[in-house]
Amino acid sequence: MNDGSGNSTGALVIFTRLLSKYVKLIQPDLFVICFDSGPSTFRRELFPAYKAARVYNPVESGSWLLLKEFLDLAHLPYVTQEGVEADDLIAEYVRRKKPDDKITIVSADKDFFQLLNGWVEIMSPNDPEPWTTFRFRSVYKIHPEHYGKVLALAGDSSDNIPGVPRVGDKTAIKLLNKHGNDLDLVLSEESLMAFQRDRVEQNFKLIDLINAGAMIERLPPLVRFGPTAVDSAEWPALRKFFKDHQMMALMSDWLQGKLWS
């Protein structure tokens, strides 16, 4: 899809439709969208091959500028930080939550399983059922807080993190359960782990979100969900954006109140 001027709008339309789906489903009070600006600086310094195959759009690319313009006009808050991944930004929001907050993370990234607890759930675009602590423990037979150790042993091919040979998720979970979820004991007492300590300990530093290795320089507060209203002074600018980029179906849904409720 494009707007007739060479600007590709397909990704923006898909993004907005998906966002609309989960806003209506979750009905959040507070809200933020977290983006990667590139690979994690500290992870690349620790392991240069980290996410080596991942292609990141330049910050000033046309698709990013179009998305940024839309989010600004639509009053949809977002955050991105140079050298810090969206995973770490989200994990930091979880750590800074207020006592009564309930957090829903929308992502297909299994790394977030580490953050599941009584007040955090995960919704994946590829899964109609939310992930809760109960569901995770029923499926994986381990508490979510130990899932980073599972990935440290088994590796994570999506991030180009090699695991211990012949160790997958099931074997890693079995070994952790056997040793009371003590990763040091697994490394010390299992023959499979001979000469693997350095690799596994490095993997854990790369994967661990609970204890975050990234330095978060700034983290804007979550803001109350309140997209641009059709009777607001900002609406004409957003309407012009829709027309200029030939996104008339989205504009129609916005006018009819179908996007967010």
Which pLDDT score, from 0 to 100, does residue 212 have?
67
Do the strands 30-31 and 223-224 form a parallel or antiparallel pair, or are they unpaired? antiparallel
Domain count, the chain: 1
pLDDT band of residue 1 (cuts 50, 70, 90) is low
How confident is the model at residue 57, as a pLDDT?
Answer: 61
d(CA 171, CA 152): 12
The 3-class SS string of 37-104 reads: CCCCHHHHHHCCCCCCCCCCCCCCCHHHHHHHHHHHHHCCCEECECCECHHHHHHHHHHCCCCCCCEE
CA distance 73 to 241: 8
Q: Give the mean model confidence (pLDDT) for residues 188-201.
A: 96
- 39-97 residue pLDDT tens: 788 899 889 988 877 766 655 567 788 999 999 999 999 999 888 899 999 999 998 88
pLDDT value of position 6 = 61
Q: Which stretches within the chain are classed as H helix?
A: 10-26, 41-46, 62-74, 86-95, 133-140, 147-154, 169-178, 183-189, 197-207, 235-244, 248-255
Residue 104 resides in a domain: yes
Q: What are 191's two structure tokens? A: 């023959």
176 lies in some domain = yes
Above 80 in pLDDT, residue 111?
Answer: yes
**97 assigned to some structural domain:** yes
Using alpha carbons only, how large is the chain's radius of gyration in Å?
A: 21
Residue 224 in 3-state DSSP? strand
Is 88 within a domain?
Answer: yes
User: Both tokens of residue 133?
Assistant: 């602590």
Residue 112's pLDDT band, with cuts at 50, 70 and 90, is very high
pLDDT at 227: 96
Asked if residue 230 has pLDDT above 80, the reply is yes
In angstroms, how far is CA 243 from the centroid of its own chain?
Answer: 31
Name the residue range of residue 177's domain: 81-224
Residue 231 lies in a domain: no
Asked whether residue 36 is assigned to any structural domain, the reply reads no
Q: Is residue 15 part of a domain?
A: no
Per-residue pLDDT averaged across 201-228, rounded? 85
pLDDT of residue 124: 95
Write the pLDDT tens digit of every residue in 47-59.
Answer: 998 887 776 665 5
Does any domain span residue 217? yes
pLDDT band at 37 (very low <50, low <70, confident <90, very high): confident
